[in-house]
């Protein structure tokens, strides 16, 4: 009986799938198809969503015209699904066609053009083409800021500004990255409040941008601002506080203040060790950072102890042949040579 029950369930599910796939979405209105497609995107049903979005485009072309707003919006969904699936060349094509259609509609579509340009810029960012990402994310920000900023589009401008700051950062255009991140933080403070967790997170990123720009005073300034927000609710922000102390350690390491760096790595470890076992994934990284700082201080025994701990944790988590595990193993051999 058990085998028959399983077979029955498989047949029913398979039959349902056939019925679903047999539905002809090319006959539906955009309102009908849009509801189905948006739900599939929200549920990450990307393969099937892409196929239905393609059928919706056919329907929109027939019902409203190939240059209609509805067809432009269907192409955007095709881009979203293709991006999620890693089909970047297809996604670029869909997004660009969508933008061309909606741009031709005039300023009434500026908000939609801004959103879709942001989607395209994000896809280029994921694909590693940072110059193209910058181009479309700048277009996105320009179009979105032309309209009135409301709760309906605040997330869109925040995402585009964040991605644009990353596009600059990956091209080592640190001044532009810093300027864009500051603009983003200003909007977040306005919409979410001065002490919001997202503000704290982006202040941390801003501090790191300053480290990369060799401006350590400003890096410390914005790290302190980030940390001060997390310390308002220390019990709820244990991991974030630990991460900030680790980042302070990196900041002082970068300036050759290794003794001070070790002090902050120790503070980070105190917070990480307060967490449940499942959430202690930052410990090996901080142990490794601490070991490197101790090596610079010629504290070779202490360096070896912490590096061995980091090595064992990385090996257990990532495997013996992971790149990071192998790097620590190599460094550990150097420490052992210093102790001979």
Q: What is the pLDDT of residues 315-324, one digit of tens each?
A: 999 999 999 9
| 196-212 mean pLDDT | 97
How much is the pLDDT for 250?
97
Helix (H) or strand (E) holding 123: helix 110-127
pTM of the model: 0.87
pLDDT of residue 340: 87
Dihedral sign, Cα of residue 213, residue 218, residue 223, residue 226: negative
Distance from CA of residue 142 to its chain's centroid? 22
Q: Look at phi and psi of residue 193 and say left if phi exceeds 0, alpha if psi is from -120 to 50, else beta.
A: left
* pLDDT tops 60 at residue 6: no
Of the candidate ranges 52-61, 134-143, 150-159, 252-261, the one whose mean pLDDT is the lowest:
150-159
Two tokens, residue 325:
């595990």
C-beta separation of 104 from 67 below 8 A: yes
Could you give the percent of the chain with pLDDT greater than 90?
86
Cβ–Cβ < 8 Å for 98, 113: no
Question: Is the alpha carbon torsion for 89, 92, 97, 98 positive or negative?
Answer: positive
Asked whether the beta carbons of 59 and 33 are under 8 A apart, the reply is yes
CA distance 209 to 167: 12
The answer to whether 239 and 279 are in contact (CB under 8 A) is yes
Does the pLDDT value for residue 209 go beyond 70? yes
What is the per-residue DSSP string for 48-99?
HHHHHHHHHHHHHHHHT-TTSHHHHHHHHHHHHHHHHTT-HHHHHHHHHHHH
Mean pLDDT of 35-58: 96
Per-residue pLDDT, 8: 41
d(CA 74, CA 52): 10
pLDDT of residue 19 exceeding 90: no
Give CA 201 to chain center in angstroms.
12
pLDDT value for 16: 45
Could you tell me if 145 and 157 are in contact, meaning their C-beta atoms sit under 8 angstroms apart? yes
Q: What is the mean pLDDT of residues 212-240?
A: 97
Mean pLDDT of the chain: 92
Query: Can you tell me the mean pLDDT for 96-123?
Result: 96
Judged against a pLDDT cut of 60, whether residue 218 lies above it is answered with: yes
| Residue in the structure block whose two tokens are 């300023």 | 107
Q: What is the pLDDT of residue 2?
A: 37
pLDDT the model gives residue 35: 94
Q: How far apart are CA 284 and CA 276, in angstroms?
A: 15
- For 7, other C-beta atoms within 10 Å of its C-beta total 10
CA pair distance 181, 185, nearest whole angstrom: 6
> Is the confidence at residue 9, as pLDDT, over 60?
no
What's the pLDDT score for residue 18? 41
Q: How many Å apart are CA 136 and CA 114, to the nearest integer?
A: 9
Ranges of H-type helices in the chain: 2-22, 30-42, 46-63, 69-84, 88-103, 110-127, 130-146, 154-170, 174-192, 197-212, 216-230, 238-254, 258-272, 283-296, 300-318, 323-339
**Band (7; pLDDT cuts 50, 70, 90):** very low
**Confidence at 4, pLDDT banded by 50, 70, 90:** very low
pLDDT at 306 over 50: yes
Q: Tell which wins on pLDDT, 238 or 280.
A: 238
Q: Is the pLDDT of residue 290 over 90?
A: yes
Q: pLDDT band for position 265 (50/70/90)?
A: very high
Contact 313, 287 (CB under 8 A): yes
204: pLDDT confidence band, cut at 50, 70 and 90? very high
- Range 173-200 average pLDDT: 96
CA atoms lying within 13 Å on the CB side of residue 230? 22
pLDDT per position as a tens digit, 48-74: 999 999 999 999 999 999 999 999 999
Confidence of residue 276 (pLDDT cuts 50, 70, 90): confident
pLDDT band at 24 (very low <50, low <70, confident <90, very high): confident
- The dihedral over CA atoms of 61, 63, 67, 70, expressed in degrees to the nearest 10, equals -90
């Amino acid at each position: 009986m058990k085998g028959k029950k399983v077979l029955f369930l498989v047949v029913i599910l398979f039959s349902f799938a056939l019925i679903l796939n047999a539905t002809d979405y090319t006959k539906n209105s955009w309102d009908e198809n849009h509801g189905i497609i948006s739900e599939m995107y929200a549920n990450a049903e990307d393969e099937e969503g892409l196929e239905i979005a393609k059928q919706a485009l056919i329907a929109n072309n027939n019902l409203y015209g190939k240059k209609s707003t509805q067809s432009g919006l269907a192409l955007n969904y095709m881009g979203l699904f293709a991006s999620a699936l890693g089909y970047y060349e297809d996604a670029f094509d869909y997004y660009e066609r969508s933008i061309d259609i909606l741009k031709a509609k005039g300023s009434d579509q500026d908000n939609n053009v801004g959103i879709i340009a942001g989607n395209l810029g994000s896809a280029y960012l994921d694909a590693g083409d940072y110059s193209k990402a910058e181009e479309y994310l700048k277009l996105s920000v320009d179009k979105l800021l032309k309209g009135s900023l409301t709760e309906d589009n605040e997330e869109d401008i925040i995402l585009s500004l964040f991605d644009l700051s990353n596009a600059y950062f990956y091209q080592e255009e640190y001044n532009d990255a810093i300027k864009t991140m500051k603009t983003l933080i200003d909007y977040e403070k306005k919409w979410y409040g001065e002490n919001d967790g997202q503000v704290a997170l982006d202040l941390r990123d801003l501090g790191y941008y300053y480290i990369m720009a060799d401006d350590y005073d400003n890096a410390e300034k914005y790290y302190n601002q980030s940390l001060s927000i997390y310390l308002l609710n220390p019990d709820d922000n244990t991991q974030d506080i630990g991460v900030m102390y680790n980042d302070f350690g990196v900041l002082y390491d970068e300036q050759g203040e290794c003794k001070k760096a070790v002090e902050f790595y120790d503070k980070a470890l105190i917070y990480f060790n307060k967490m449940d076992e499942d959430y202690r994934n930052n410990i090996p990284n901080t142990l490794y950072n601490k070991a490197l700082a101790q090596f610079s201080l010629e504290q070779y025994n202490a360096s070896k102890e912490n590096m061995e701990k980091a090595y064992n944790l990385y090996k257990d988590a990532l495997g013996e042949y992971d790149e990071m595990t192998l790097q620590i193993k190599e460094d550990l051999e150097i420490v052992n040579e210093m102790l001979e």
